Amino acid sequence: MSKVPGGKNLGKLYKPGRVRRRREWRGFKDTFYDYTRWLKIMGILAKFIIKPRNIKAFFRYRWMCNYLAAPMMLDRHTQGLRGEYLRIAHTEFDLVMEDIALLLDNVFKADKRIGNDEKLNKKVVLCDENEMTVFMMGFPTLKGLSRETPSVYVGVLLNQFAACHYLDVVQEYGLPGDVCPMPAAEAGVSIEDDFPILGACAIQCNTTCDGSLMGNGVISKRLELEDGVPCFQLAAPLRHREDDVQEYAAQEMRNAIKFIEDHTGAKWDWDYYFECAHRVNESTKARQEWLDMNKTEYPQVFGSNLALYTETNYMAICGKVKAFADADKKITELARKAYDKKKRIVKEYRHRAIVWGVQSHYYMDFLIWLQNCWGIIPLTDMLSMVSTRILSEDDKEKALYDMAWLNENMIMRNRTHGGYKVLLDELWQFCEEFNADMVILWEHMACKALDGMHGQFEEKAREKGIKLIWVGHDLFDPRIVSRQGVRDQVNQYMRLVLNEEPIDPTLEILPDEQSW
Ligand code: SF4
């Protein structure tokens, strides 16, 4: 281990079992900085658990135990990082952690089984994990809370096996095993009655796919018939790039807002909406600057540092939290500083890659492994290529179309639906813009929208001379393809097709089958 960017012999940190042999040595300055951030995460956890109702929730909800692995997740996403890159990672991940802790705190405060705060409950709008929370951008007095995000989505990021139990539950109830594990696991949590009970109403969406519709069907039945929480189905058009569907999409936004007003008594506040829209615009401008840097020889905000933060910033935040706008500024400053000094994240850059498809959730730190092990630089990924539109900051009619646009462009569905132009053609366009010589194509085996185009991806990559590496996985289920199974697909391509040796050979095969 050393000060060298990308570190040395990082594989030696691993040992069979849940935790690592020891923490990484990054030179005195960076190790000390990293340690202070580790203390901060422990502080967030301690502040959360000190409340008796949160301890009660730990014992009531099986998925809560995944949060014990939170510091471990941070370590995975900062492997080999030094200087500005380490600071960018912590600015993002620490903030996301704080936001999740606050979400959980509010959820348990309102939960009828735990805190049962009736006053808060009347202000809670349950938000589907798979939607942009734009319909909350004009309700400053309400709280949009998600149950699926902390129980399933974040759970798998923390502990690779987090969703397995719920997948078994839903399949015992007759769901076929080829349904996407994301909606399947969410339905499993509902069937097992492991969701907190709260909310004045709920907004569900038809994003992203047939599997997602199935999952929401199961969840909404329990919400409406058993918990007494009315649900609105916010339906986004599939062909979302066509002009003739936009009026319908805007009307859906009007209907959703009206539904929330009717069930909470709150009134839509345009001033607050435009304040949030301004912050979304600031985030979009910052992200565009990062992507522009990534098109040069000195990319700065990419891989792990781009993916998860972008998802959170657009989907869950949508301009509602000022701290994210502040973090965007800080990240941009760090990136500019590193760019001016022509810094690099690892010592050797061998391939410039675009990462496409829906990524494996139990192996989100795969991007950092690519750069540390093989010198493959993941310049951007499909889920980070989200909205580039600047929202109106004063026109109310246009704002409804902007909200509809954001909802239609929900991360993941904006490319898995909408035709081959958004999924295929734009990939090759990005390869050109970013001067990429490689595409890492996640093949999530239960995502029919993507799998149907396998042959067309291959044909075009061959025609354009792009190195295409397929990486098969099953999204939330590491029992089907393990982390090493994911890595082996890249290892084989690099050795057998490109005849290359890894930059850090200790990372090629890792004993992390059981690790958090
Ligand atoms: S990964 Fe594919 S199948 Fe799963 S929710 Fe997303 S679009 Fe649907």
For ligand 1, atom 1: residue with the closest CA: 447
Say what the pLDDT of residue 6 is. 84
Contacts 24+ apart (CB under 8 A), 262-267: 263/200, 263/201, 263/230, 264/122, 264/123, 264/125, 264/139, 264/142, 264/200, 264/201, 265/122, 266/123, 266/139, 266/141, 266/142
Residue 383 near ligand 1, beta carbon < 6 Å: no
Per DSSP, what are the bridge partners of residue 125?
144, 201
Ligand 1 lined by 447 (C-beta under 6 Å): yes
CA distances from 416 to 238, 312, 382 (A): 10, 19, 10
pLDDT score recorded for residue 208: 63
Mutational pocket test of ligand 1: of 149, 209, 361, the residue with most ligand atoms within 8 Å of the beta carbon? 209
CA distance linking residue 172 with residue 325, whole number of Å: 44
Question: Is 211 a pocket residue for ligand 1 (Cβ < 6 Å)?
Answer: yes
Two tokens, residue 315: 């989907």
d(CA 321, CA 410): 19
Closest CA to 89 of 342, 365, 375: 365
Blockwise average pLDDT, block size 10, the chain, 516 residues:
81 91 94 96 94 96 96 94 97 96 97 97 94 96 97 96 97 91 95 98 83 89 97 89 92 97 98 98 97 98 94 94 97 98 96 95 95 98 92 97 92 84 94 98 86 89 97 95 97 98 97 91
- Atom from ligand 1 closest to the CA of residue 209: 8
In ligand 1, the atom with minimum distance to the C-alpha of 212 is 5
Q: Which two tokens stand for residue 331?
A: 């990240």
Give me ligand 1 centre to Cα 22, in Å: 36
Residue nearest to ligand 1 atom 2, measured at CA: 447
Q: Tell me the CA–centroid distance for residue 192 and ligand 1, in Å.
A: 22
- Distance from the alpha carbon of residue 344 to the mean position of ligand 1, in angstroms: 34
**CA-181 nearest atom, ligand 1:** 4
- What is the CB neighbour count within 10 angstroms for residue 52? 10
Other CB atoms within 10 A of residue 295 CB = 16
pLDDT at 177: 87
Decide whether any atom of ligand 1 lies within 6 Å of the 312 Cβ.
no
Using CA atoms, how far apart are residues 180 and 439, in angstroms rounded to an integer? 23
Ligand 1: nearest atom to the Cα of 417: 7
Pairing of strands 143-145, 124-127: parallel
259 C-alpha to center of ligand 1: Å?
27
**Of 164, 169, 162, 215, nearest in space to 188 by CA:** 169
Residue 207 Cβ < 6 Å to ligand 1 = no
Contacts of 137 (CB under 8 A, 6+ apart): 272, 273, 276, 277, 318, 319, 320, 403
Nearest CA to ligand 1 atom 4: 180
Q: Which of 447, 451, 473 to mutate to test the pocket of ligand 1 (most atoms within 8 A of CB)?
A: 447
Signed CA dihedral, 269, 275, 276, 281: sign only: positive
> How many A from CA of 361 to the centre of ligand 1?
12
**Measured from the CB, is residue 423 less than 6 Å from ligand 1?**
no
Distance between Cα 410 and ligand 1 center (Å)? 12
Are 392 and 314 within 8 A, CB to CB? Answer: no
Ligand 1 and 412: CB distance under 6 A: yes
Q: What is the DSSP string of 161-214?
A: TTTHHHHHHHHHTT--TTS-HHHHHHHHHHHTT-S----SEEEEE--S-HHHHH
Ligand 1 contact via 184 beta carbon (within 6 Å) = no
